[in-house]
Amino acid sequence: MNYLETLFSLKGKTAIITGGSKGIGAEIALAFLNAGANIVCVSRSNLAKKKEINKFYKQCDITIAKEFNAICEYTISRYDNIDILVNAAGVSLPANKSLSNIDRFKKTLDINLTSLYQCCDIASRHMNNGGSILNITSIGSIMGFPNNPGYISSKGGVKMLTKSLAIDLSTNGIRVNNIAPGYIKTDMTKDSYENKQMHQERINRMIINRWGEVTDIIGAAIFLASDSSSYITGSEIVIDGGWTAKGI
């Protein structure tokens, strides 16, 4: 390997990626695979959208501790260790008649915050040689956005959970960091991306005048998972095209 490949290599490391069936999670999983890592991708879906990672894919509901613990035990039995956990699973639930506002709020926090903590708690017990936990938050963890208080609260909670776990897990040599994406083109943002007015309104808030692609996330993810970031914990990389930096 050349110098840069060595600097950011994940060769010999094993990663579990939640939310790995599509979007940011699937893109990170493929990037880690290409960087030399062993990967185990999990999600509630039957299969991953990226065929390259389907043979590394396992169906799992992360809200059920027993299921995620089984994933960790499978990973240990196959690869001997867990070095990296990427928590990319998350939901943004639209308002609908089937859920009251409070039930929508509770369900969002259960998936986005409580289950993420559960995954960190379980996986960290299997990270015997230290490691890196990477949580995917949102610019919604930094700024207020309308009509989705559960999502904003859950991502804000993850932001502070990361700082707390960075302290608690440091004694085991585990680093914990965030990536906070802005408006990235995924299934979750499809409606606003395809709506011409909403699409442009969001671009107007950015310094870099385009929506983000899932590939815009992978460089930071590889960096935070690799030994190149060995002195970074409790921190956050914001990837938002300059949204949170822009005033007028």
28 touches 63 (CB < 8 A): no
Rounded CA separation 243/245 (Å): 6
Q: How far apart are CA 166 and CA 158, in angstroms?
A: 12
Cα separation, 7 vs 11, in Å, equals 11
Q: Are 45 and 62 in contact (CB under 8 A)?
A: no
237's CB contacts (< 8 A; 6+ apart) are 177, 178, 179, 180, 220, 223, 224
Any idea how long the chain is?
A: 248
Strand stretches in the chain, DSSP E: 14-18, 38-43, 57-59, 84-87, 131-136, 174-181, 236-239
Cα–Cα nearest to 141, from 16, 209, 237, 21: 237
Q: Which residue has the tokens 């409580």?
A: 114
DSSP conformation letters of 165-222: HHHHTGGGTEEEEEEEE-SB-SSTTHHHHHSHHHHHHHHHT-SS-S-B-GGGGHHHHH
User: In this structure, what DSSP letter does residue 78 have?
Assistant: H
- Catalytic residue numbers, as ranges: 151
